[in-house]
Amino acid sequence: MTAGTANAQRFREFKMPDVGEGLTEAEILKWYVQPGDTVTDGQAVCEVETAKAAVELPIPYDGVVHELRFGEGVTVDVGTVIISVDTDPGAGPAEAPAASGAQEAAAADSEEDAEPQGRQAVLVGYGAAPSSTKRRARKAQAGVPAQPEPASAGLQAELNGRPAPAPMAAPVAEDAPTAPASVAPAVSAAGAGRPLAKPPVRKLAKDLGIDLATVVPTGPDGTITRDDVHAAVGRAAAPAAPSEAATPVAGAPAVPGVVDTAARERRVPVKGVRKATAQAMVASAFTAPHVTEFITVDVTRTMKLVQELKQDPDLAGLRVNPLLLVAKAFLVAIKRHPEVNASWDEANQEIVYKDYINLGIAAATPRGLIVPNIKDAGAKTLPQLAEELGELVATAREGKTSPAAMSGGTVTITNVGVFGVDTGTPILNPGESAILAFGAVKLQPWVHKGKVKARQVTTLALSFDHRLIDGELGSKLLADVAAVLERPKRLITWG
């Protein structure tokens, strides 16, 4: 056994797993361990946020943490090494296998396809195939000695995107005037490679016409920040100030400068749940032909039933609210029209009819909108539905919803009424056939038994996939939901 093989077996590397079906990246929210800490098989070492949820990652080795490849707040591709563990710390000093974070990032960004050599076990799904691509050695510039890779190369590569060759420096005469001190650090950094900056910062610099090579970095590891770019704009505008001030125009209005505009803007990277929501909504809106229908209904009897159920001993301690009865009405209506509960299989050109109803509930959380679902909701009693609905909402608010809880939905309810909104035109959750929007319940004049009275009224909106559901079927479904809410005793006669 060679020394390299022994080191590879001793220092085990743990890669970012696919913690949800088909996910390609995750952001490291928090490390629970540091180099030198002892870890055991199954111990959670960090918390990561994917496009679906925040989850903890357990380490599959016993040993001592040797290295953390990425810091908190960094988004890492699936299949990239994030931590290495010394599984035999008592064996004495040994050289860890060389695998810098920059090499990991280069492999992840490579455009060449590699044949899969086996996949790492993951929490959910099959994970990502390891890449066999290697970064080509960077050619040294003439007359410039080769510089060793800095220890922070992994972070630099993550911030910098795909590595670019270092620009050739123009020859400088020995008696040439020295550049201003404020520009020297940036030139030095540029000489070592592409200036370090996140994509939003690069876009800001491009929009403002600023060359990043001239910007003085103040961020960690020489990273250029938004403030650095704004400062560069200020320096660029400073020489022009005296000449402009020399010929003032009386009464001329102040022209707003670029600095003022940028100072009043904020840019936030699109990632995590927000990124997933955006991708899903765009995919749904431009894939499934949406039709939305509306109906206004008197729900006075349903609201009275809600108050009565709150006093029912069988529902003691459970969350009883109008949404519970809307969910039950939706389930009853779907049972009366089972053709609604289907999905479109584009690859096989088939419609998949489902004999189970996984009811999604759109939930607003601090991380953004998520849609966990109640599995086999159509088979549950009202107390069971109330219990699961309460647990679903509580888990979502705590940010602990698992990826499994957000997969496999068939239909969804979104309760826009809690925000005082009458209704909306909801977009389908990808892969689902229908989504029901429940609007605010308000006292309105309503003709009841031949007289105008104040009644509790709401508006329902149903969006459905017109590939699966014709107008007649969608109309019948929505009308049945409204009929149950108008006379909730139909939960018994139709259920």
CA dist 281 and 290 (Å) reads 12
Half-sphere exposure at residue 476, Cβ-oriented, CA atoms within 13 angstroms? 13
Burial of 73 from C-beta contacts in 10 A (0-12 / 13-18 / 19+):
exposed
Q: What phi and psi, each to the nearest 5 degrees, are found at residue 135? A: -80, 135
What is the CA angle 469-475-480, rounded to 5? 115
In eight-state DSSP terms, residue 316 is T
Bridge partner list, 379? none
The two counts, helices (H) then strands (E), for the chain are 14, 21
Three-state secondary structure call for residue 296: strand
What is the bridge-based pairing of β-strands 434-438 and 411-414? parallel
Three-state secondary structure call for residue 358: coil
Query: Is 309:320 a contact under the CB 8 Å cutoff?
Result: yes
Candidates 467, 4, 452, 27; CA nearest to 276 is: 27
466 noted as active-site residue: yes
Query: Of 230, 290, 448, 466, which is the active-site residue?
Result: 466
Candidates 482, 468, 149, 426; CA nearest to 285 is: 426
CA dist 195 and 367 (Å) reads 31
Q: Which two tokens stand for residue 21?
A: 């079906």
Q: Which residues are annotated as catalytic?
A: 466
